[in-house]
Structure 1
Amino acid sequence: MPYIALEDHLPGITGLLEYSKGTAQPIRELTQFLLRGPSTLTEAERELIATVVSYGNECTFCTTAHTAAADLLAGDAAISAKVKQDIDTAPVSHKMKALLKIASLTRQSGKSVTADIVQQAKNAGATDVEIHDTVLIAALFCLYNRYVDGLGTALPADPDYYNVLADRLVNHGYTRLPQGYDHLKK
């Protein structure tokens, strides 16, 4: 049960973003830009960064939501599962493995990211912008994970909620739906 009064039909982050639309707007805009804006990283790769960070932070809602979005974007559920198990053996490029390691280190502490791991990413073909965006996405999802878990948000009653959410994230992005979320009431 959430620690503050949230709408029952909006589990996880959605309830929090609806609760405080003023603080939600800049967070949504940053997330939309980083995960859906122009980038040399695919949307699926950026969702994998969110997945790895959320998984490492043990945030069930965010891990499940971004795993579903990454799976939908990649068209392959095995990739995110393998990335969560072991980045080194996951079926992603060497560049992506290096970036996911940077994301994981950022999750632990910004100071865990070393010049050596950054150089490894550069040697694997990562650009300065990709490294920058990886660290920023990782930091942003640490914020989300702590926001969701720190206020004890509810998990959805129906596990299919995550597939609906993934479809919304893939097809609408991270901006607020123009009509709001009343249509999700049962």
Structure 2
Amino acid sequence: MPHIPLPEHLPGITGLLEYRLDTGQPIRELTQILLRGESTLTPGERELIATLVSARNQTRFCTAAHTKAADLLFGENETAWHVKQNFETAPISEKMKALLNIAALTQRSGKAVTPEAIDRAKAAGATDREIHDTVLITGLFCLYNKYVDGMATVTPTDPDYYQRLGERIVKGYRRPENGFLVPPNT
């Protein structure tokens, strides 16, 4: 049960962002820029960063949501699963392995990111902006994960919920123009 009253029909981060629209809006915009804006990393690759960070933070809601979004963007459900198990052996490029290593280090502590980790990413072809954005996405998802878990938001268990949420996430992170309507009672 959430620590504060939240819209019952909006589990996880969505209810929190609706609770404070003034703080939710800039967080949504930053997420939109980082995960769907112009980048040399694909939206799927950026969702893998969100997935890995959320899994390492053990935030079930965010892990399920971003795993599903990555699955939909990649058109399969193996890559995100492998990344969560061990990104170093996952079927992804060496550049993504190096960037996910930076994400894993940042998730543990920003000070854990070493010059060797940066050198590895650059040697694998990562640009300064990709390294920057990886660290910023990681920091943003650490914020999201702590926000969701710290407020004890509802975490649905129905896989169909995450399918629908993943489909919405694939389209972007902006708030719907009319907000999130309360579903009709059935």
Q: TM-score if structure 2 supplies the norm length?
A: 0.97
Matches within 5 A, 1:119-158: 119-156=119-156, 158=158
Deviations 1:64-94 (A, max 9, x none): 0000000000111000000000111100000
Give me the whole-angstrom Cα distance separating, in 2, the residues matched to 1:5 and 1:121: 44
Aligned pairs for 1:1-186 (under 5 A) are: 1-156=1-156, 158-171=158-171, 173-184=172-183, 186=185
Greater shift in the superposed pair: 156-165 or 20-29: 156-165
Task: Quote the offset at 1:183 in angstroms.
Answer: 4.8
User: Would the aligned equivalents of 1:9 and 1:185 in 2 still touch at CA under 8 Å?
Assistant: no
Q: Which runs of 5+ in 1 are unaligned?
A: none
Distance 2:184 2:92 in 1: 38
Give the number of equivalent residue pairs. 185
1:152 and 1:185 map into 2 onto residues whose CA distance is 25
In the alignment, residue 5 of structure 1 is paired with which amino acid? P
Secondary structure of residue in 2 paired with 1:77: coil
User: 1:5 offset after TM fit, Å?
Assistant: 0.3
Matched-pair contact (CA < 8 Å) for 2:6–2:19:
yes
Cα deviation, residue 179, structure 1: 1.8
Q: What are the Cα deviations for residues 94-134 of structure 1, in whole angstroms up to 9, with x where unaligned?
A: 00000001001100000000001000000000000000000
**Displacement after TM superposition at 1:14 (Å):** 0.4
Unpaired runs of 5+ residues, structure 2, are none
Percent identical across equivalent pairs?
62
